[in-house]
Amino acid sequence: MTILDIIIKKRDGYELSKEEIDFFIKGLVNGEIPDYQVSALLMAIYFNGMTDDEITNLTISMADSGEKVDLSDIEGIKADKHSTGGVGDTTTLIAAPIAASCGAIIAKMSGRGLSFSGGTLDKLESLPGVSISKSIDELKNIVRSNGVCVVGQTKNLVPADKLLYSLRDVTGTVDSIPLIASSVMSKKLASGADVIVIDVKVGNGAFMSDVSKAEKLAQTMVSIGRNNGKKVVAVLSDMNSPLGKNIGNALEVKEALDVLSGKVDVSDRLVYVSLVIAGYIIFLSGNAKCFDEAFDMAKNALFSGKALEKFENMLMYLGADKKDIDNIDNFIKTENTLEIKAEKTGYVNAIYAKNIGIASLKLGAGREKKDDNIDHAVGIVLNCRVGDKVNKGDTLAFINYNNKENIRIAEELVKTAMIIEDDRAEDIPLIYKIIGG
């Protein structure tokens, strides 16, 4: 068997065997297969796809490429949650504490921001003292006492995904169903949870902009999980406009704290999606008889302040100071703020999530190169939502920035993200579909 034979076989549209997939993943992780051959195979997979058997074999081979987390010594059913990545998507920081305050047990390893989509770890690090590098034993101890903790992936969790992801990022092979499904599910299988709720984002600010492709991706991930003995539900949620009103790191922690303080409306996009995700975690981990009951429990936990307590405790276990949490406003202060005003009267018919995400990245909230430092304070605060009526001169958004270098680019991106028209456009669904619910 040679990697060249495998590339040619996939290039010509044939199905790879389990042995061939294992050979590829082993050679990748050992460093025996050079990047150019890995890239060629990724492109062949991108164009020719994979059968369900190939995707399952690839996922298992990737999951087995490094250390796996064994959570079996924590009593009860353990749950995990994953988002395929979005803009202003603070769902994890809201849904995980809500579910934990209703009895679910959540031990989650999160990722960093990727391109224009934010990452939970970068958000958590907005607070001084927070360290997301915890050993598996430390993670388990926090989960035993607090019911929930989110940390960084251990170094050796699915090394195959780290290698593949960095090549996909630079070879135009990110948005492929077999490659996304195996990337997400290998990490979930290696992380040891029994219940997995996946938030598949759909829209211009997501890797999948088309509902039917996103549904295929969701079905693929649900069946991989189930074939491996996990309880899995995928929620297809909208990412045409940002989920929350705050986009940026400390800004999103602030929004999570605000939501968990109960100063919110259940119909708000971010709140509603978070409650649905929390509801499925609660239900699948056996803490409610049905989803509707779980959803009500989630709502009560949000308004009772119990979920806020879980979140604050988690931040403190990670190293944050209570007085900094109470003064989160200190960490969103920037030298400058630019207001974006409506140039005409009408209805806000779109706020393109991707533009807002790129604008936030340009301000320094994300990384353009792998080793860039991020500015946790900067970002964008939306002052309107899709469907709102605005008058000429109303403030649509605030851009909070420190570095002047890219401010004109960010301003243009935010301005062109906001579409104001005379007639109100039809509403876009917030949740398109639940797969496996």
Q: Which residues are catalytic?
A: 82, 161, 168, 183, 187
Q: Which is nearer to ligand URA, 158 or 298 (CB)?
A: 158
Interhelix angle 269-284/249-260, rounded to 10 degrees, is 70
Instruction: By CB under 5 A, tell whether 183 contacts Ca ion.
Output: no
Instruction: By CB under 6 A, tell whether 84 contacts ligand URA.
Output: yes
Q: Which of the listed partners (Ca ion, ligand URA, none) does 91 bind, with a CB threshold of 5 to 8 Å by partner kind? A: none
List the structure tokens of 221: 């991930």
Q: Which is nearer to ligand URA, 139 or 217 (CB)?
A: 217
Closest CB 312 distance from Ca ion, rounded Å:
21
- CA–CA dist 257, 268 (Å, integer): 15
- CA–CA dist 266, 243 (Å, integer): 13
- The closest of 256, 254, 268, 264 to 388, measured between CA atoms, is 268
Among 16, 184, 256, 417, binds ligand URA (CB under 6 A): 184
Hey, which residues between 206 and 265 contact ligand URA (CB under 6 A)?
207
Q: How many Å separate Cα 294 from the centre of its chain?
A: 22
Instruction: By CB under 6 A, tell whether 85 contacts ligand URA.
Output: yes
- CA–CA dist 348, 419 (Å, integer): 6
Closest CB 217 distance from Ca ion, rounded Å:
16
- CA–CA dist 91, 197 (Å, integer): 12
Instruction: By CB under 5 A, tell whether 237 contacts Ca ion.
Output: no
Q: Which of the listed partners (ligand URA, Ca ion, none) does 183 bind, with a CB threshold of 5 to 8 Å by partner kind? A: ligand URA
Closest CB 41 distance from Ca ion, rounded Å:
27
- Site pattern 50..89 for Ca ion (x: CB under 5 A): ---------------------------------x-x----
> Do residues 167 and 39 lie in contact, with contact meaning Cβ atoms separated by under 8 Å?
yes
- The closest of 129, 138, 85 to 107, measured between CA atoms, is 138
- CA–CA dist 266, 260 (Å, integer): 12
Q: Find tokens 């829209």 and name the residue.
A: 203
Closest CB 247 distance from Ca ion, rounded Å:
12
Q: Which of the listed partners (ligand URA, Ca ion, none) does 317 bind, with a CB threshold of 5 to 8 Å by partner kind? A: none
Helix or strand or coil: residue 236? strand
List residues near ligand URA by CB under 6 A. 84-85, 179-180, 183-184, 207
List residues near Ca ion by CB under 5 A. 83, 85
